[in-house]
Amino acid sequence: MKIAEVRELSDKELKERVDAERIALNQMVLNHSVSPIDNSNKIKEKRRDIARFLTELRQRELNNK
């Protein structure tokens, strides 16, 4: 997901996305440990998406102070 798309989301939507992405990431890691997935770069992409969401939430928090 691009950063421009992330900035369009509300705080509530961002928090929901973080939770959903963390669950999906954990599931992907478990599946990958049992039987390797074809494209393991998707795990890296999920981690980076979560970081983008958390970074945007933190920036909004600092701007509101």
Summarize pLDDT for 5-57 with one digit per residue, the tens. Answer: 999 999 999 999 999 999 999 999 999 999 998 898 999 999 999 999 999 99
Q: Are 47 and 26 in contact (CB under 8 A)?
A: no
pLDDT at 44: 96
Q: Is the pLDDT of residue 58 over 90?
A: yes
Burial class (CB in 10 A: 0-12, 13-18, 19+), 53: buried
> What is the distance, to the nearest Å, from the Cα of residue 58 to the centroid of all Cα atoms in its chain?
14
- End-to-end CA, the chain: 27
Residue 43 maps to a domain: yes
Which range of residues forms the domain containing residue 35?
Answer: 3-60
Query: Does 32 reside within a domain?
Result: yes
40 occurs within a structural domain: yes
Structural domain count, the chain? 1
